[in-house]
């Protein structure tokens, strides 16, 4: 098995585990069992669990930024961009998972410092993109809100992350959708 392929498979399994159990809810033994390899081989690719966590966050952010770039290239309407953004979260939830960084934020105090910084960066990137879309929509008069776009971006992100947690606790994606529809509908001009 190629080293890069093995690293990706480790990251894939670790991502699923974090999204379903949390970072503190799995060990290298869980990954080793899933891949039928030794824990020592995992340490070859990721010497410490914190190294694995940091790579997970960085990969998750790269994937999100690529999805946001696709949204930007395929849509000119700020309302549609916001709906497609919320759909990213809904798709994760439909797969019986949570946002990786949302799960990590719940465990924030127990994470190694470099991971905490990366979790914040992930949320900063989300808020930056959202604020830009909100500004664009306000300028075009397709969105309305009071306060700064940055403040509204924080509220949107917090609402989506929180709605995911509540919907997951009920096992009901429609609860998440209802929050999204209400929140996004309130922003439409």
pLDDT digits (tens, 9 = 90+) for 67-98: 999 999 999 999 999 999 999 999 999 999 99
Q: In the structure, what pLDDT confidence band is assigned to residue 146 with cuts at 50, 70 and 90?
A: very high
- Which range, of 37-41, 97-101, 104-108, 160-164, averages the lowest pLDDT? 37-41
| Planar angle of CA 154, 160, 164, nearest 5 degrees | 145
Which burial class, exposed, middle or buried, applies to 184 when counting CB atoms under 10 A from its CB (0-12, 13-18, 19+)?
middle
In the chain, the percentage of residues whose pLDDT exceeds 70 is: 98
For the chain, the average pLDDT equals: 95
Place of tokens 């947690």: 165
Q: How far apart are CA 123 and CA 143, in angstroms?
A: 22
Please name every residue paired with 143 in a beta bridge, in sequence order, or none if there are none: 188
The predicted structure's pLDDT at residue 2? 60
CA 73 to chain centre: 20
Query: Does the structure show a pLDDT above 80 at 1?
Result: no
CA 134 to chain centre: 19
Mean pLDDT of 124-129: 98
CATH topology of domain 48-187: Tetracycline Repressor; domain 2 (1.10.357)
Mean pLDDT of 126-151: 97
Domain residue ranges in the chain: 48-187
The predicted structure's pLDDT at residue 4? 72
Which burial class, exposed, middle or buried, applies to 104 when counting CB atoms under 10 A from its CB (0-12, 13-18, 19+)?
buried
The predicted structure's pLDDT at residue 89? 96
The pTM score is: 0.93
């Amino acid at each position: 098995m190629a080293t890069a392929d093995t690293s990706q498979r480790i990251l894939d399994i670790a991502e699923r585990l974090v999204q379903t159990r949390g970072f503190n809810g799995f060990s290298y033994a869980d990954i080793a069992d899933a891949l039928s390899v030794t824990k020592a081989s995992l340490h070859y690719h990721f010497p410490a669990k914190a190294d694995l966590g940091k790579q997970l966050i960085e990969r998750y952010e790269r994937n999100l930024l690529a999805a946001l770039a696709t949204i930007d290239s395929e849509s000119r309407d700020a309302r549609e961009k916001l709906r497609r953004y919320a759909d990213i979260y809904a798709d994760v939830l439909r797969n019986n998972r949570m946002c990786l960084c949302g799960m990590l934020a719940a465990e924030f105090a127990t994470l190694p410092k470099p991971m905490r910084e990366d979790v914040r960066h992930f949320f900063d990137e989300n808020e930056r993109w959202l604020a830009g879309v909100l500004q664009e929509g306000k300028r075009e008069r397709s969105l309305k809100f009071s306060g700064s776009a940055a403040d509204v971006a924080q509220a949107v992100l917090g609402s989506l992350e929180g709605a995911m947690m509540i919907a997951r606790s009920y096992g009901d994606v429609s609860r998440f959708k209802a929050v999204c529809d209400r929140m996004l509908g309130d922003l439409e001009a």
